Structure 1
Amino acid sequence: MKLLLVGYGAMNKRVAALAEKCGHSISGVITPVEEENCPYPLFTSFDDQLPEADVLIDFSHPDLTKRMLQSDLTVPMVIATTGEKDTLVKLMQDKAESAPVFFSANMSYGVHIVTQLLEHIAPLMDAYDIEMIEKHHNQKIDAPSGTLIKLLDAIKENGRQDAREVYDRSQVTEKREKKDIGISTIRGGTIVGEHEVLFAGVDEVISIKHTAQSKDIFANGALTVAEKLINKTNGFYTYNNLGV
């Protein structure tokens, strides 16, 4: 495959390295940020004369992703940008009328499986309190993570429609309400990513946890999706309907 990368942060650097090991090539990188050590052709705008590519992989920032989705590009798009989810999904659905578009807040297939587990478990756990914890490195900008929001949505849509997210209990002095879902965010060091959902009942706790030990799981996930997406017709895809 010929890949066009949107953004050249830590994730797309891993995508590029792993892609070349697999025999793929990088046609270019689109980024408004100056990249002194980028070995690939650089472009600052989606209006530039961009090189030929089979698929685009986007690990960037919502501002850049929005510009991409509002451009005239019709190349298949693998999008893993987090933040401004509602706005981006609407733009992706519009773009999907003219291109195959895949989106996941987390490109790990393991996280997809955890999401499916939560969809099945949530309706069975009405007697349990739910707490969610996510941990990431100290350079991550958004909080809570897009992955936690993805897991939270799976719970709310399948068993806790009236849930109230609680992000900071230090501002109130009251006991927990039944509909509360506590959300804790930790940032530090080089933690790649860890997400845990606790179902706390009477005298027992059930924990569902995913730990990312390397950014490579996300890069490999993006490449696997890209290989599938280039053969798809126009439409909006997720792990649920791509057939990975």
Structure 2
Amino acid sequence: MVPVVAKRSFSDTFLKSLKPRESRYTCYETDNRFQGFMVEVLPSRTLSFRYRYKLNGKREKATIGNYPGMSLTMARERYREMVSAVQRGISPAAQKRQLIAGSSTARTFESLAVDWIRDDLRPANKNARQDETYITRDILPVLGKLAPADIDRSAIWKCIETARARGHGQAARRVQSVVKRVFDYAISRGDVSLNPASSINPRHIAPAGSRERILKPEELRVVFNEDDDRQYTNHILWILDFLRSIPGAALFDASQRVLF
């Protein structure tokens, strides 16, 4: 059993002060928000974040990552994701063992994305081309060869920044959405238990885009049959009913006065 030598509130200053000993030892986080969150200090000078929890009546321990390669902030975020997995009855430790056992044949994010496109995206979307473009142009160059379990938020942000660098904030938001949906699909298949994209707030990528849309004259002529007054009236009534169902919708005249 690994001895516990300290229970402290973690900070970078505290972690950097930890020194190796002849045998490894453990320090637990005292903040009640991080129950079971700890760091093991190994004789090799490695500091390893771990999560100890109880599932189905058994105590288990899962490795989160090594400090300082993984920051304290990132480790806490991974900890929260593991807590969420345990609450859903998923064992992070068991999943880690499965990944190690099958590492020689472990699938990549690219193979996962191919399955998602085939099984989920295309059947549910008549026009899936745009999302497929985001995958091939912005996502796979960064994540394609990585194992899904090795992908963290910083890697996903690299994909987001690629789209944002082109000046397309809404495209960058969409990149995050696509990665999140691929991981949701992977979780439903049992390939992974955590979704690193779910903790990225789209508002931190770019402001939500406006959905305001003004019909062009030629589009109005398609909507309205000018040769049939009755058909014209029916279309007007349909549009008014439709507008009532949209929160914040408004109808303006040519002088930009609100009619509805």
TM-score interval, normalised by the smaller of the two chains: under 0.3
Q: Which structure has greater helix proportion?
A: 2
Q: Which structure has greater strand proportion?
A: 1
Which protein, 1 or 2, shows the higher relative CO under an 8 Å CA cutoff with sep ≥ 6?
1
Calculate the TM-score normalised by the size of structure 2: 0.25
